[in-house]
Amino acid sequence: MFASLTERLQTVFAAVRRETRLTPESVETALREIRLALLEADVNFKVVKAFIDRVRDRAVHRAVLESLTPAQQVVAIVRDELLTLLGDGPAGLTASRQRPQVVLLLGLQGAGKTTTTVKLARWLTGQGRHPLVVSTDVRRPAAIEQLGMLADEGGIRVHDPARDAAVVTRAAGAVEMARSMGFDVVLVDTAGRLHIDDDLMGELEALKTAVQPSDLLYVADAMTGQDAIKSAGEFNRRLGISGVVLTKMDGDARGGAALSVVSVVGVPVSFVGDGERLDDLQPFYADRLVSRMLGMGDVLSLVEKAEQVVSREDATRLEQKICGNDFTLQDMRDQLETVKRMGPIDRLVELIPGMGQMASRMPGEVDPHALVQTMAIIDSMTRRERVRYQVLDGSRRRRIARGSGTTVQDVNRMVKQFVEMRRMLKTVGAASRSRKKKGGRRRGIPMRPGVPVT
């Protein structure tokens, strides 16, 4: 199995950092590694080519080569270019005065259209909108029932004329119903189809003509490989895509398909689907994805996720701890407790800086058992030990192992991981401090209104 993009880039950049000056040759070495990593992340090879050329152009520039910290600048260029390519799609629909506003969800079979239709309806409800959903999938067995059941579960109204099996009239009927009953947006789920299926693509064109959508959202599976540019390109050519939703980001796909789709469709990703539940839809932030790709961990998402479970004061405290570099074992225990409450750990662990790598270095997967063990070890420590890990000498470690029913090796490993994590947090804390000072892209750590950022 190949290294993750994160790991690979970290290796590359660690290697580059060791050199005091970048030569055109060392730039080429780094570029080769970046090319490999992007290909393994499923970015289409044509997109990779263009990307590498852009990075090279900037990287071999004299100013970069002769600057004091050329390696860091290459990192910055890669990050910058990725950000430029990905863009930041505003999460939401196009601002349209059309009432009802009509949205079509399109894509290949199994991409996640039906689920996304209801997720999006719920998101819109949260924005104060009044959505109505309708299925036009008359082909896949029980597809109409699927949308109906999901909508019921999510408390969303459905238009479902029992005997109507015609795509256009189902959608048009929903628009009619919305108009008469005051729904201000109609979300039209469509059957999955192949971009080369001329008849079915024609059906979508007819549907588009009939209901005049303001938004055509292309739903793409984050696990897609090289084919992404062909399918997205063809949907775009025939229908004109206005937004992209990237689904199944809860897996460990590197998501390179996002780069491919965005560069062929020319519009940014607006939403990310990260789970099967109806609330698993998030606005897309390019810098988060890129940070994740570059292995910086995603403190921001973690903080937001934590916020849903812990009080605001707790979240702010965590943020201050991270920025102030005084994260203790007690804090780690609190966090693990929170993580336990937040749901499946494997989904969260990679959000914690440094933990993603640690997880992959641990034999097997991150199992809940390890979490419980870590908590047991910390529970067997004295207050002083929890706040100052430096006092943990051999005899203390032996006592803790006995107390927690583990071995000294377990304790050692846990402490080592903690130190590693602290080191990572220090870097991230420093980065987020300097971002705030410079008033960077996302204004420090984005929090919901009312949460103090400093």
Ligand X SMILES: Nc1nc2c(ncn2[C@@H]2O[C@H](COP(=O)(O)OP(=O)(O)OP(=O)(O)O)[C@@H](O)[C@H]2O)c(=O)[nH]1
Distance of CA 363 to the CA centre of its chain: 25
277 binds ligand X (CB under 6 A): no
Per the document, the length of the chain is 454
Member of 90, 110, 266, 368 binding ligand X (CB under 6 A): 110
114 lies in the site for Mg ion, by CB under 5 A: yes
Quote the CA–CA distance of 146 and 127 in Å, as a whole number: 24
Beta strands, E only, 56-125: 101-106
Which amino acid type is present at position 109? Answer: Q
Query: Strands 281-283, 269-273: parallel, antiparallel or unpaired by DSSP?
Result: antiparallel
Q: Measured from the CB of residue 30, what is the shortest distance to ligand GDP in angstroms?
A: 33
Least spacing, CB of residue 280 vs ligand GDP, in Å: 6
Tell me which residue has tokens 């570099």. Answer: 325
Which residues, including other chains, have CB under 8 Å from residue 160's CB and lie 6 or more apart?
134, 135, 144, 148
Using CB under 8 A as the binding rule, whether residue 29 contacts other proteins is answered as no
- Is residue 248 near ligand GDP by the rule CB under 6 A? yes
Q: Which stretch binds other proteins (CB under 8 A): 19-27, 247-255, 318-326, 430-438?
A: 247-255
CA atoms within 13 A on the CB side of 338: 22
Candidate list 73, 224, 282, 374; residue touching other proteins; CB under 8 A: 224
Binding status of residue 404 toward Mg ion by CB under 5 A? no
**Would you call 99 helix, strand, or coil by DSSP?**
coil
Nearer Cβ to ligand X (5/108) = 108
Angstrom distances, CA of residue 339 to CA of 191, 226, 305, 371: 38, 35, 9, 9
Q: Out of 47, 264, 366, 421, name the contact with other proteins by CB under 8 A.
A: 366
DSSP 89: P
Smaller CB separation from Mg ion, 43 or 219: 219
41 binds, among Mg ion, ligand X, other proteins, none (CB under 5 to 8 A by kind): other proteins
The pattern of x and - marking residues 189 through 228 that bind ligand X according to CB under 6 A reads ---x-x----------------------------------
Residue count at the site for ligand GDP (CB under 6 A)? 17
> Is-contact 262 87, C-beta < 8 A?
yes
Nearer to ligand GDP, 111 or 378 (CB): 111
Answer yes or no: are the C-beta atoms of 355 and 296 closer than 8 Å: no
* DSSP at 407: -
Count CA atoms within 13 Å of residue 227 on its CB side: 11
- When the beta carbons of 192 and 213 are compared against ligand X, the nearer one is 192
* Residues 270-329 interacting with ligand GDP (rule: CB under 6 A): 273-276, 280
The residue behind tokens 């070495």 is 29
| Residues of span 320-349 touching other proteins by CB under 8 A | 344, 346-347
Do the strands 157-159 and 131-135 form a parallel or antiparallel pair, or are they unpaired?
parallel
Point out the residue whose Cβ comes nearest to ligand GDP. 273
Taking CB atoms, the residue at the shortest distance from Mg ion is 114
Tally of CB atoms within 10 A around 118: 27
Identify the CA nearest to 330 among candidates 371, 389, 370.
389
Residue 225's binding partner among ligand GDP, other proteins, ligand X, none (Cβ under 5 to 8 angstroms by kind) is other proteins
User: What does the binding site for ligand GDP look like in residue numbers (CB under 6 A)?
Assistant: 107, 109-115, 192, 247-248, 250, 273-276, 280
User: What does the binding site for Mg ion look like in residue numbers (CB under 5 A)?
Assistant: 113-114, 143
User: What does the binding site for ligand X look like in residue numbers (CB under 6 A)?
Assistant: 109-110, 140, 192, 194
User: What does the binding site for other proteins look like in residue numbers (CB under 8 A)?
Assistant: 1-2, 36, 39-42, 45, 108-112, 139-143, 145-146, 148-150, 153, 194-196, 221, 223-228, 230-231, 248, 250-254, 256-257, 276, 344, 346-347, 365-368
